[in-house]
Structure 1
Amino acid sequence: MSMKGLLGWLPPAPPPRDGPGAGDSQLFASAFDSQRATPAQLVPWHARAVEVGARPLSARRGGPMLQALWARDHSMALLGADALQRLTRFFEFATVPAGRDVIRQDEYGNFLVVVLTGTLAVDRALAWGEPVRLAETRPGELLGEMSLLDSGQRFATCTTLSDCELAVLGAEAMDEMMARDAQLAAGVVALLARKLARHLRLVSARLGDNRL
């Protein structure tokens, strides 16, 4: 589908948060409501950041790191250098110590993270209780994009194996991106969906191997 066609599927962009109508329900921020879960079950980034002892990372450091990593990623590089530069304005950046669960399986979350430095383990507990290591991440990889897109429960637990620098994109920031830069938001959603489909295929194969 062309970018123009993709934009046609998106609802009208919500107003900017500091403009008329700021504070109204927005697409990504309000999608959690459709899951029929209580607000207390939602774990946004600001709550998780406090829990894991995250320290703010300067955008002056985090922004160029994110741009450089995604410029080398075949999928994300399709956005182009200018779009990648604009994209970093919507991210928060943080440093998280080793041994912390940035994302937990089965919780409701509304943010994704991009690994800038360090390594995280991606583990899933199976129905019979046995954990399976699905992956260990490398810089530039995405975690949590599925819950950002559909506000559903997290598929796996993501734990820092070393001190990590992370870029974080939350639901409110995605809504702001749609309001301020709809073309960029459409491209990001399309690429996130493509990456998610690829991840799910790999995970399905990995879990299938563990059933043998």
Structure 2
Amino acid sequence: MPEELHLHAEIRDMLMDCGLFDTLQPGDFLTAAGYFSLSTIDDGQTIFNEGDAGTFMCILHHGVVSVRKTDGHGAQGEVATLRSGRAFGEMAVLDGERRSATCVAASQCQLLTLGKDSLDKMLNEAPRIAARIIRALAVTLSKRLRMQDGQRLA
């Protein structure tokens, strides 16, 4: 199997494993895989910084990511720890705003990335699949927001 096809199949399997896109049909995963890329990030490496332009989102396939925010005094504190299967950075890709937090690899990480340009391309070339992916990301964000609202009330 040529290298590119092998990588494409590997990304498809990772998309299927992450559990975020359960509304996709089995064949849709292979199409979607063509728009994602795979990268390895070393422990301690910054994936993106708070305030950066959001040009890509990630799905954490393997490893741990620390999410950090800067407080009113300029000090950075950890607000979340992300583990396998978690999407992050999607807000900036969906709304075009700047990054709301800094994400740093807390171990060696394997990431699936989807660039804003790749998402736009998918919207043109495979709109049904792109719509399902965007809807799945919106549902994930909605659940996260509801959980946060519930924590605030407690």
Match of 1:110 among 43, 55, 60: 55
Alignment of 1:125-204 (within 5 A): 125-203=70-148
Q: Determine what percentage of the aligned residue pairs are the same residue.
A: 24
AA aligned to 2:99 is: R
Mapped contact 1:62–1:93 kept (Cα < 8 A): no
Alignment of 1:39-78 (within 5 A): 59-60=7-8, 62-70=10-18, 73=19, 75-78=20-23
Q: SS of 2:99's equivalent? A: coil
Note the residue ranges of structure 2 that are not aligned, 5 or more in a row: 1-5
User: Cα offset for 1:66?
Assistant: 1.6
User: Cα offset for 1:84?
Assistant: 2.0
Distance 1:60 1:185, change over 3 A: closer
Runs of 4+ in 1 over 6 A off after TM superposition: none
From the CA coordinates, give the structure whose radius of gyration is larger.
1
Mapped contact 2:21–2:132 kept (Cα < 8 A): no
User: Cα offset for 1:204?
Assistant: 5.2
Note the residue ranges of structure 1 that are not aligned, 5 or more in a row: 1-57
RMSD, matched Cα = 2.3
Matched residues in 1 for 2:141 and 2:91: separation? 7
Which residue is equivalent to 1:89? Answer: 34
User: Cα offset for 1:175?
Assistant: 1.4
Distance 1:168 1:86, change over 3 A: same
TM-score scaled by length of structure 1:
0.63
Matched residues in 2 for 1:104 and 1:111: separation? 12
Matched residues in 2 for 1:62 and 1:121: separation? 25
